[in-house]
C-alpha cells in the first residue's frame, strides 16, 4: 500500500518505521526536514516529501501525527495540505490527540472530496509506539475503518472503532481524565508514605495488589520514590490534553473538578521548570510545598 506519514515526532517516527518494515511504500513529511532525513537513514526504502500535499499525492492511506488542532488543520486543509492532492477514495487517519470538533470538521471537509477520515488518537506512549503495542481509539465510518484496521494494527495491540467521527478523540479524553486525579492521588500516597517514615516500596508492593491498584501505581511507584520524573508522557503534553478535555466538558456539561485542579497543579510543575518531566512529577510539586 502507498502510505504518506506526516509528523515524525516521538510517536510518528517509530510508527512510520513499523509501516515501512511491514512492506508498505512510505513517504514521510516533517516540518523540520532533519528529522525526516534521520528517519530515512533508518528506513532507506522510504521517501521524503517537501509538503503534506506532495506526500499525499498517489497515497492510498495518509497518516497524520502532529501537535495540536492548528497543526492538524494546516497539514490537512492548509495551502500545502493533504486535501490539495489526495485522490478520492483514499483514507486519512489522524493519530494526533486533538479536539472532537476538529475531527468532525476534517471528516466533513474531506467527505466533500470523497475522502474518508478517521480520528485515531493513541495511548501507550513512546515505548508503546516503539514496541508496536499502542491502543488506538478510532472515530469514523465502518467501511474505511475495516480497510485500515490491520494496516495501523502493525503498531497496536488494540484498534477499536468507538463510534462516528470524533469518538476516538472523546475516548482519549476519558482516558486522560481518569489518569489526572489517579496520578495526583498516587503522588499524595507516595508523599505520605515517605513523610510517615514507612518503607515506601514495601507499602506499594502490598497495596498494589488490592483496591488501590492501578497501572500507574505498579509501573511508577519506584521512580516516584526515587524522585525520577523522566519516564514517560510529559507535563506539557498532558496540559495540552487536559485543555481539550476541559473545553469539551464545557460543551457537554460534564463537571470535572479534580481534572481541572490537577491541570492547575501541572501549571505549577511547569513553573518549577518541569514541563518536560513526566506526569508523575505532581510529586515534585508536593515536595516543594512547605511542611
Contacts with a copy of itself, residue ranges (CB under 8 A): 100, 123-125, 135, 137, 158, 160, 162-163, 167, 170-171, 173-182, 184-186, 188-189, 191-193, 195-199, 202-203, 206-207, 209-217, 233, 245, 248-249, 252-259, 261-262, 265, 286, 289, 291
Burial of 66 (0-12, 13-18, 19+ CB in 10 A): buried
The CB-of-248 to a copy of itself minimum distance in angstroms stands at: 7
Catalytic residue among 172, 195, 209, 222: 172
Outline where DSSP puts E strands in 65-127.
Answer: 91-94, 116-119, 122-123
Least CB distance to a copy of itself at residue 58 (A): 33
Q: Among all chains, which residue has been given the C-alpha cell 490537577? A: 262
To the nearest 10 degrees (0 to 180), the angle between helices 235-252 and 257-271 is: 150
Q: Which is nearer to a copy of itself, 3 or 167 (CB)?
A: 167
Q: Is 172 a catalytic residue?
A: yes
Whole-angstrom CA distances from 181 to 20, 22, 64, 81, 214 are: 38, 39, 30, 38, 12
150 vs 199, beta carbon nearer a copy of itself? 199
At residue 186, the 3 state secondary structure works out as helix
Shortest Å distance, C-beta 141 to a copy of itself: 16
Return the residue matching grid coordinates 512492506.
Answer: 23
Cα–Cα distance, 231 to 219 (Å, whole number): 10
Distance of closest approach, residue 279 Cβ to a copy of itself, in angstroms = 9
Are 242 and 266 in contact by the 8 Å Cβ rule? The answer is yes
- DSSP element (H, E) containing 63: strand 61-64
Q: Which is nearer to a copy of itself, 109 or 286 (CB)?
A: 286
Nearer to a copy of itself, 87 or 209 (CB): 209
Integer CA distances (angstroms), 151 to 16, 40, 133, 135, 235, in order: 11, 20, 14, 14, 31
Minimum distance, C-beta of residue 178 to a copy of itself, in the bound complex (Å): 4
The CA-based angle 266-269-275, given to 5 degrees, is 90
Sign of the C-alpha dihedral computed for residues 27, 33, 36 and 41 taken in this order: positive
Whether the CB-CB separation of 94 and 106 falls below 8 Å is answered with yes
Between 71 and 278, name the residue whose CB sits nearer to a copy of itself: 278
Q: Of 24 and 172, which CB lies nearer to a copy of itself in the complex structure?
A: 172
Q: Please report how close the Cβ of residue 7 comes to a copy of itself at its closest, in angstroms.
A: 21
Which residues form the catalytic set?
A: 172
Amino acid at each position: 500500500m502507498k502510505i504518506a506519514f506526516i509528523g515524525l515526532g516521538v510517536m510518528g517516527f517509530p510508527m512510520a518505521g513499523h509501516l515501512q518494515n511491514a512492506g508498505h511504500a512510505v513517504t514521510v513529511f516533517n516540518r523540520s526536514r532533519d528529522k525526516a532525513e534521520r528517519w530515512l537513514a533508518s528506513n532507506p526504502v522510504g521517501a521524503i516529501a517537501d509538503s503534506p500535499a506532495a506526500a499525499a499525492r498517489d497515497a492510498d492511506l495518509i497518516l497524520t501525527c502532529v501537535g495540536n488542532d492548528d497543526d492538524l488543520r494546516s497539514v490537512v486543509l492548509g495551502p500545502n495540505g493533504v486535501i490539495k492532492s489526495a485522490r478520492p477514495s483514499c483514507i486519512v487517519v489522524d493519530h494526533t490527540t486533538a479536539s472532537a470538533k476538529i475531527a468532525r470538521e476534517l471528516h466533513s471537509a474531506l467527505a466533500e472530496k470523497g475522502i474518508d477520515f478517521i480520528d485515531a488518537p493513541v495511548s501507550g506512549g513512546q515505548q508503546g509506539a516503539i514496541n508496536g503495542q499502542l491502543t488506538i481509539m478510532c472515530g469514523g465510518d465502518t467501511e474505511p475503518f475495516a480497510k485500515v484496521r490491520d494496516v495501523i494494527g502493525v503498531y497496536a495491540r488494540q484498534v477499536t472503532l468507538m463510534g462516528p467521527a470524533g469518538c476516538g478523540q472523546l475516548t482519549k479524553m476519558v482516558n486522560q481524565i481518569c489518569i489526572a486525579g489517579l496520578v495526583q492521588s498516587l503522588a499524595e500516597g507516595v508523599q505520605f508514605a515517605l513523610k510517615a517514615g514507612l518503607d515506601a516500596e514495601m507499602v506499594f508492593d502490598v497495596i498494589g495488589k488490592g483496591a488501590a491498584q492501578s497501572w500507574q501505581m505498579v509501573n511508577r511507584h519506584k521512580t516516584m520514590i526515587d524522585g525520577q520524573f523522566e519516564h514517560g508522557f510529559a507535563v506539557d503534553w498532558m496540559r495540552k490534553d487536559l485543555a481539550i478535555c476541559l473545553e469539551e466538558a464545557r460543551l457537554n456539561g460534564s463537571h470535572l473538578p479534580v481534572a481541572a485542579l490537577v491541570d492547575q497543579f501541572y501549571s505549577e510543575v511547569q513553573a518549577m521548570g518541569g514541563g518536560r518531566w513526566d506526569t508523575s512529577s505532581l510529586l515534585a510539586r508536593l515536595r516543594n510545598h512547605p511542611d
